[in-house]
C-alpha cells in the first residue's frame, strides 16, 4: 500500500461525493480526509479535540453542533460538509447504528441531488454503552436493519466501507460513557471485539466492504489518547491512507509505486531529512506489546508545492460550487444544479486535476476512466490486462479451467 499525497487524493476523489457517518472517531476520519484534500499536513491537537465548531478547514456546520448547543446526550446532532469545485465530503454524527434519525439521513441521501459515491460508516461505542444492558441483542438487530436499509437506499454504484471499531484501552474514561455504569468501562474492550465480529459478518453478508481498523491498530496503543478511545493525528493519517488504499483497490485504481504507508509514517521519508527520523512517545499503561510509533514528515515533492498556485482550469466544469464567504447554511444544499448523473458529465480524466495543481506537472500515478460504474460488480475503471502484474486480487472467481480435448489414437 502506497502513501498518497494531497494532489493524488484530490485526483482519486475527483468529482466524488463521500459521506462519513459515525461517532467522534469517525468525525476525525472526516476531518483528516478534508485536510488531506487540501494540503499535506497533520491535524493539530486542537482540531482533534474540537467538536461542533462552525468551520473547520473551509467546511461548514450544516446542523447541530454549536448551532444547537453541545451536550453528551444520545440525541446530539452534528452535520458537517466540505465542498470544493470537484469534491464533496459530508459527515453525520450518529449515536446508534439504526434509529429514526438514521432513517432520515438515508432518506436525505436518497432524495438528494448528488448520489453518494463512497459511504464510510461505523457505529459501535455508543451502541454498547448507552442503550441498556441488553445491548448485544439490540445491536445485532440494529445492524440487520441498517444494512438491509442501506442495500435498498444506496445506488448500486455506491461503495460502502464499514469500519470496524478501533481498539480501546483496558480502562476507558471517555466523556460519552455514563458515569453510573462503571462496569461498562471495564468490559468495553472485550465488547468491542465481539461487536466487531457481528458488524463485519453482517456487512459481508449484505455484500458491503469491511475495513478492519481493529486489526490494523491492535499494536498502536501508544497513539491512543488518555481517555482510551480517541487517537492522535499520526494514527488518523495512517487510517486515512488505509481507507484511501481500500477505495482505490475497490475501484481498480493503480496507486503510485512508493514506500509502503506503514513504513513511511513510522520512519519518515529517507530523503531530505538528515537527522533522526522518528521520536517515540514514552510508553505507559496505554501501550500494547509490540506497538510501533508513527512519525510523519511533510512530503518534499512538487505535489505539495502545487497548492501554492491554484490556477482554475477553464475547460473543467465544477459540479460542486464552493460556498460563498460568510454564508451560514441551515439545511442540506440542493439549489445548485451543476452536477449531472450522466456518464458524460462524470468523466474522470487524468487532466481533471489541472484546476487544482495549477501549472505544475501532473502527478500521473493514478489511471482514471471515462465512464462511471453502474454496479458494484463493475468498477468505474478499465479492467487490467492479463499480462499486467497485480499483487492482491480482491475477488476470486469460481471458473474451472477448460478441459483439454482428448487425443485420438492413431
Q: Are 91 and 79 in contact (CB under 8 A)?
A: yes
Q: Please give the average pLDDT of every successive group of 10 residues along the chain, which has 410 residues.
A: 89 97 97 97 96 95 92 92 96 97 96 95 94 87 97 95 96 73 72 96 97 97 94 97 96 80 48 35 37 48 37 46 51 38 33 34 36 41 45 39 49
- Residue 376: is it exposed, middle or buried by C-beta count within 10 angstroms (0-12/13-18/19+)? middle
End-to-end CA gap in the chain: 55
What is the pLDDT, as a whole number, of residue 355?
37
**What was the pLDDT predicted at 248?**
96
pLDDT confidence of residue 249: 95
pLDDT at site 3: 87
Largest CA distance in the chain: 90
Tell me if 135 sits within 8 A of 127, measured CB to CB: yes
The label of the residue with cell 491512543 reads: 224
What pLDDT does 333 receive? 41
Give residue for cell 434519525: 101
pLDDT at 179: 63
**Which pLDDT score is estimated for 256?**
82
Say whether pTM exceeds 0.95: no
| SS3 per-residue string spanning the chain | CECCCHHHHHHHCCCEEEEEEECHHHHHHHHHHHHHCCCCCCCCHHHHHCCCCCCCCCCEEEEEHHHCCCCCCCCCCEEEEEECCCEEEEEEECCCCCCHHHHHHHHHHHHCCCCCCEEEECCCHHHHHCCCCCHHHHHHHHHHHHHHHHHHHCCCCCEEEEECCCCCCCCCCCCCCCCCCHHHHHHHHHHHHHHHHHHHHHHHHCCCEEECHHHHCCCCHHHECCCCCCECHHHHHHHHHHHHHHHHHHHCCCCCCCCEHHHHHHHCCCCCCCCCCCCCCCCCCCCCCCCCCCCCCCCCCHHHHHHHCCCCCCCCCCCCCCCCCCCCCCCCCCCCCCCCCCCCCCCCCHHHHHHHHCCCCCCCCCCCCCCCCCECCECCCCCCCCCCCCCCCCCCCCCCCCCCCCCCCC
Q: What is the pLDDT of residues 202-230, one digit of tens each?
A: 999 999 999 999 999 999 999 999 999 99
Amino acid at each position: 500500500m502506497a502513501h498518497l499525497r494531497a494532489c493524488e487524493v484530490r485526483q482519486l476523489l475527483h468529482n466524488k461525493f463521500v459521506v462519513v457517518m459515525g461517532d467522534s472517531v469517525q468525525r476525525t476520519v472526516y476531518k483528516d480526509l478534508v485536510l488531506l484534500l487540501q494540503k499535506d499536513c497533520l491535524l493539530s491537537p486542537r482540531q482533534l479535540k474540537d467538536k461542533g465548531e462552525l468551520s473547520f478547514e473551509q467546511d461548514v456546520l450544516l446542523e447541530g453542533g454549536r448551532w444547537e448547543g453541545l451536550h453528551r446526550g444520545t440525541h446530539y446532532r452534528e452535520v458537517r460538509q466540505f465542498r470544493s469545485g470537484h469534491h464533496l465530503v459530508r459527515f453525520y454524527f450518529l449515536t446508534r447504528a439504526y434509529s429514526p434519525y438514521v432513517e432520515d439521513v438515508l432518506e436525505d441521501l436518497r432524495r438528494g441531488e448528488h448520489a453518494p459515491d463512497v459511504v464510510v460508516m461505523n457505529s459501535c461505542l455508543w451502541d454498547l454503552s448507552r442503550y441498556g444492558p441488553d445491548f448485544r441483542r439490540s445491536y445485532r438487530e440494529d445492524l440487520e436493519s441498517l444494512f438491509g436499509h442501506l442495500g435498498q437506499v444506496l445506488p448500486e454504484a455506491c461503495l460502502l466501507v464499514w469500519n470496524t471499531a478501533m481498539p480501546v484501552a483496558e480502562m476507558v474514561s471517555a466523556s460519552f460513557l455514563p458515569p453510573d455504569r462503571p462496569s461498562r468501562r471495564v468490559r468495553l474492550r472485550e465488547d468491542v471485539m465481539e461487536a466487531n465480529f457481528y458488524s463485519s459478518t453482517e456487512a459481508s453478508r449484505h455484500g458491503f466492504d469491511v475495513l478492519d481498523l481493529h486489526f490494523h491498530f491492535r499494536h498502536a496503543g501508544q497513539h491512543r489518547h488518555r481517555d482510551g478511545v480517541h487517537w492522535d493525528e499520526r494514527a488518523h493519517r495512517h487510517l486515512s491512507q488505509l481507507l484511501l488504499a481500500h477505495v482505490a483497490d475497490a475501484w481498480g485504481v493503480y496507486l503510485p509505486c512508493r514506500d509502503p504507508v506503514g513504513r513511511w509514517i513510522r520512519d519518515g521519508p529517507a530523503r531530505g531529512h538528515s537527522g533522526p527520523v522518528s521520536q517515540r512517545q514514552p510508553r505507559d499503561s496505554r501501550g500494547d506489546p509490540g506497538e510501533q510509533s508513527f512519525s510523519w514528515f511533510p512530503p518534499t515533492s512538487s505535489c505539495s508545492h502545487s497548492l501554492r498556485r491554484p490556477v482554475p482550469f477553464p475547460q473543467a466544469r465544477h459540479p460542486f460550487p464552493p460556498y460563498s464567504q460568510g454564508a451560514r447554511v441551515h439545511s442540506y444544499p440542493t439549489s445548485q444544479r451543476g452536477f449531472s448523473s450522466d456518464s458524460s458529465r462524470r468523466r474522470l480524466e487524468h487532466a481533471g486535476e489541472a484546476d487544482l495543481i495549477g501549472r505544475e506537472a501532473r502527478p500521473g500515478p493514478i489511471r482514471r476512466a471515462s465512464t462511471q460504474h453502474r454496479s458494484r460488480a463493475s468498477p468505474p475503471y478499465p479492467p487490467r490486462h492479463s499480462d499486467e502484474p497485480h499483487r492482491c486480487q480482491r475477488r476470486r472467481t469460481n471458473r474451472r479451467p477448460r478441459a483439454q480435448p482428448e487425443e485420438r489414437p492413431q
